[in-house]
Structure 1
Amino acid sequence: MFRGLTMKLFWLVLLFVYPGYALANSWPGFAKQQSCLELYPDFHHLVKDMRQHQPWYKAEYWLAPWLLPKQQFDQTQELECAQLEYHSDTILVQAWGLQPKAKGKQKWPVIIYNRGGNSALGRLDYVSVLRQLSPLAQQGFIVLASQYRGSVPQDQQTYGKDQFGGADVRDIHQLIELAKKLPAADANNIFLYGISRGGMMSYLTAHQRDDIRAMAITGAPTNLVTELPRKPEMELIFRSLIPDYDQHKVRELEQRSVIYWAEQLPATLPILLIYGGKDQRVHPDNSRLLAAKLTELKRPVRLIEFAEADHLLTDYKEQERQAMLNWFRQHHYGPATAAP
């Protein structure tokens, strides 16, 4: 009797002293996991960290309530949230994971979020998680977001090198396989959500799979060959990241441009394309022309334009999020998942 009581007390103390241990059953298969609660036990810790390490926080302090929303921080505490690392090929890849807390045998659909940027540029920090990922998990989804290999440029031996749509695509495939093994994951409902470069990564991933239920893409390049003359400064990035770029420039760009192989995407894959009419980073024609080609191929596609929006749809984030969630629920396999 006393032995059983002692063991119960031991586990209770362990969970309080080391809350990250409670994650062990939530994120199996990941090489490393640290709970968001460990990272930032309360909002004051997050504010303190921002003041110490984020120059923009001081420079734009008057924007702090919007850039660093306390309400969203509090709501995220109601989720299972973790900073993760996982193996892909012979390297480690960093990621974030969020999911609603378990309710019996409840299974949640999965959103694989593919970020924009390259290397360390565009890395998801905890503020990004609060603003971009947490609202999705609160609507009844498991959300996993890879940082891609190369997100720690100073340690390429451990974390690899970004190839901007090359070997790094395998990092998304590996994340999907890990997602399917999560105890609370509905493996029949895996969705891809890509922004900017993340849209390109989503197309490349879907090209090689037949288990993606639907995709939503925002402001993504679909033809790097025509985009390069519009943004010639991108050549420096392509040259530094894409293997064999100088020797096979057109080939490498076309391989990363869905417009050249759209017919090879799964024929029944529903694709939602969202873009800003005043996007200065990725020309709106990228989304328009792909939508036209998919329509010609008689593929399930929907195009949404926010005529006054910029690349990141800055003033239209809630509309974008609702359109994307509605798209995923519309194409959910089995009974639709209601928001908790």
Structure 2
Amino acid sequence: MAKTTRGRPPKLSTDIILRSADGVSFGLSKVILAKVSGVFRGMLTLPDVNADTGEPQTVELTEDADTLEKLLRLCHPHPVKRPVFDEFDELFAVLDAAEKYDIEIRADITRRILLDLLEKEGPARAYAVACLYKIPMLARRAARLLVKEPLFTDPDADPKTIPPELRSISREAFEAFASYRVCCVDHVATEVLYADRERLLVGGHTYEKSRRERNITHVQGSWVWYHGQACPGTSSASTTVDARSNDISSNPDKYVEPCYWWIRYKQRVVEKMLCGYGGLEGCVVTGKALLDESIHEGESCRTCASSARTHLMVYAQAMAKRIERAIDEVEFDLPFDIPRHSQRDGTWTYTRG
């Protein structure tokens, strides 16, 4: 492929020129063009009016130069530099042209471009585009990222908090995301914040010294806030924990209550994750201000002071990972019907609306 008006010598035999609407000429080989385009394959069987002059055949097209260059680079059978897209509109202009000229663009290439644009233009714009063009993969990825944005789907929220890109989407698309976010919050609450047993007490962390025996969690020697001794602020009425001292033979009915400063940390986490208008993501529980406040309280405890910082940071990081996994487990229900070809092979084919 070569652009004759830009002074680039063609690397292949140039016997046809495609001229864009804004006057830029692209020199190509008829053999290659016929190979990638069903429309041009049929057109090239017609007589060439320039055959007697020896000049390349010229075809005037309605697309601009930027669209044509990107299209030709995407479909070229030989290794060429792939185009860079900055906006979804640029991609759909190219896909429009590809459909018009019966040019196939590989699904994996389109997928890669869509994901790049998701990162560039943000999840709100990507979600709107995905719902408009019925792109399942993009809709799911965008929705997963949108839950990290401040809450805008609450009926009591200020309408101005709705991202501009989402103000014109269909009611079904908006409600689908709102329902998905509620499901994410509920799943995080059930699986992480309000789990029947605090799964981080045993296993999966640096301080894996606790053990299970007869449905009892023995935690003494694990997290510092379960040291088994009373510390200022500890309140047995504040929490119920199925955990006991390792010294079960001498005092089998003694329950170990967590220190109050850790209980306050968990309460703050719940407030931020479930009661506020912030984003829903694991890094909320590792926020500096949140940790600093709780660590300061922990270091005020005579028993916990030496390990409060280290233990709470490890605990918070482990909780953050569990929150992300919990959100990943929630399935997003698409607000549109999946095209039959997508159900069959998981790909997506662009069609003009």
The TM-score normalised by the length of structure 2 is 0.26
Question: Which is higher, the Rg of structure 1 or of structure 2?
Answer: 2
The TM-score normalised by the length of structure 1 is 0.26
